[in-house]
Amino acid sequence: MVAAVRRGRPRRAVARQFGVSLATVQYWVRRAQGQRLDRVDWSDRSHAPRAPHRTGVAIEDLVLTLRRELAETSDLGASGAEAIEQALRDRGSETIPSVRTIGRILDREALPCTGARFRLKTSPSDG
């Protein structure tokens, strides 16, 4: 495609010839700009979102471990994000994520932040 554009063919005609969109032709022409064709990196790049500030695996594991410990030992079942943050403070952890970050960690692991595992029936007519 890039070679055809460099030979002077219109980009729209090249897109029709190769059965791709005009945006695709423009993308590859831009990637090859200023380089010889044999030196261009033609490999496709990841389209996965970048998460540069994601909490580290060690901290996530610690949060999940504390969640299990609190769920087992707490009399009132306090094992939500705020309880986990307080447990990290009590342990003197160097890195303590915010309550919201702890909630996100629990969400990623499909654990509800409230600690409630089921809905209590209030009357016989409740399903």
In a domain, 50, yes or no: no
Query: Is 31 in the same domain as 61?
Result: no
- Which structural domain range is residue 93 located in? 57-108
Q: Please give the pLDDT value at position 124.
A: 59
| Chain length of the chain | 127
In a domain, 121, yes or no: no
Query: Is 65 in the same domain as 24?
Result: no
Start-to-end CA distance of the chain, whole Å, equals 62
Reported pTM? 0.48
Among candidates 87, 10, 3, 82, which has minimal Cα distance to 42? 3
In a domain, 19, yes or no: yes
pLDDT surpasses 80 at 52: no
DSSP class of 104: H
Q: Provide the number of structural domains found in the chain.
A: 2
Among candidates 98, 104, 113, 99, which has minimal Cα distance to 67? 113
Q: pLDDT per residue over 85-117, tens digit each?
A: 999 999 998 889 999 999 999 888 876 655 444
In a domain, 118, yes or no: no
